Structure 1
Amino acid sequence: MGRAQQNPSTESSAVLVCGPARSGKSEWAERLAHQSGRSVVYIATAREDPEDADWSARIEAHRCRRPEQWSTVCAPTELEAALVEHGGSDRCLLIDSLGTWVANLIELEDAQWRERVERLEAVVDACPALLILVAEETGWGVIPAYPIGRTFRDRLGNLIRRLGPRCASNYLVTGGYALDLSLLGKPV
């Protein structure tokens, strides 16, 4: 998880971990956070819904995997503020997940959404903490039949593409294996 030159004038210690559902991306991100040796703050973007037993079970499974010494911050929509508030240089902030954050803000108009993305980019660029960003890859499947599904897929895909170059490492986790795209791939 070394530092890599992002461009000639900026270094980043952010890490992007992407993958499909149930690929192991959260577990990989948790491993990276643990290996960082820093104080970890887990920033959860999920909203709890006591009426949805399956969703509650998924959230609980994530909680059970986290060490007790990690603190948890819930930031379903105010991710930028959480990064600023908790982003000390001695910390690792694990954000799980960008897809849920996008879904929580799906009703924003395009101009409002672009403003939020620009704010998030600025915070990611300025944050002194090690950031580990978890994101779902949704564009490999069928084109969504409904406009809101296409909006979600397009917004998340574009967000990942914009954040990727800002990160020192970009991992694709699939089938339980993590591939370091920063070493294997070429920027588009």
Structure 2
Amino acid sequence: MGKVILVTGPARSGKSEWAETLAMQSGKVVVYIATANDNPDDQEWHKRIQKHQNRRPQDWVTLCVPIELSATLADAKPNTCLLVDSLGTWVANFLEQDDLSWENVLTELLETVQLVAADMLFVAEETGWGVVPAYPLGRTFRDRLGSLVRQLGLLSEAVYLVTGGHVLNLSVLGSPLPNIE
């Protein structure tokens, strides 16, 4: 298994920038895996994507992978560093699936991560730090993303929390919980 790193934190905290810094420091060919689709009709979303694209080195390979993340990871060459940004968007792409279908997708991803020889950096949003969503789909999103982040964190060599303009290495500062839910 390659090196797995998880970078998590709230919106606009600098998660992506920190993950990009780690990818550059890897010294490997970087493959940026975007989980969002660009929507030219949504100018605000398009500007966000452009900002991310403009910040990245031009020699990075960029793949748009809104669904087939496991297959994309499985196809990676060992000498690469994969940067997946973001897991929250990827989870949102599956919200219409029933719980059993989602569990199968989640299991496939976590099993694939353990087999990939490439280094992998995952960016994930923290969603459960506030009010419980008042609608079922919001709770489903929060619960699915939270569970994925927890399980991926247990597979990660390093877990970083980016918040308040600071990066904390949780792998050094904390202790992992057992993998039970």
Shorter-chain TM-score range: over 0.9
Residue 12 of structure 1 deviates from its aligned partner by: 5.4
1:97 matched to 2:86? The reply is: yes
Contact 1:45 1:76 in 2 (8 A): yes
Alignment partner, residue 67 of structure 2: 77
Deviations, residues 136-162 of structure 1 (Å, cap 9, x unaligned): 000001111110000000000000011
Between the aligned partners of 1:60 and 1:24, the Cα distance in structure 2 is: 16
1:34 to 24, 37, 42: 24
Between the aligned partners of 1:186 and 1:32, the Cα distance in structure 2 is: 22
Unaligned runs of 5+ in 1: 1-10
Count residues with an aligned counterpart.
177
1:184 matched to 2:169? The reply is: no
2:142 to 134, 153, 158: 153
Residue 127 of structure 1 deviates from its aligned partner by: 0.6
Residue 84 of structure 1 deviates from its aligned partner by: 1.4
* Aligned AA (1:116): V
Alignment partner, residue 120 of structure 2: 131
Between the aligned partners of 2:117 and 2:88, the Cα distance in structure 1 is: 23
1:163 matched to 2:131? The reply is: no
1:110 to 61, 79, 99: 99
Residue 51 of structure 1 deviates from its aligned partner by: 1.4
Unaligned runs of 5+ in 2: none
* Aligned AA (1:150): R
1:23 matched to 2:18? The reply is: no
* Aligned AA (1:58): R
Contact 2:2 2:78 in 1 (8 A): no
Correspondence 1:59-74 to 2 at 5 A: 59-74=49-64
- Cα-Cα RMSD: 0.9
Contact 1:12 1:167 in 2 (8 A): no
Percent identical = 56
SS at structure 2 position matched to 1:28: helix
Deviations, residues 88-141 of structure 1 (Å, cap 9, x unaligned): 110000000000000011111100000000000011000100000000000001
Alignment partner, residue 44 of structure 2: 54
* Aligned AA (1:92): C
* Aligned AA (1:60): Q
Contact 2:39 2:45 in 1 (8 A): yes
SS at structure 2 position matched to 1:95: strand
Contact 2:15 2:123 in 1 (8 A): yes
Contact 1:99 1:156 in 2 (8 A): yes
Distance 1:139 1:187, change over 3 A: same
Residue 36 of structure 1 deviates from its aligned partner by: 0.3
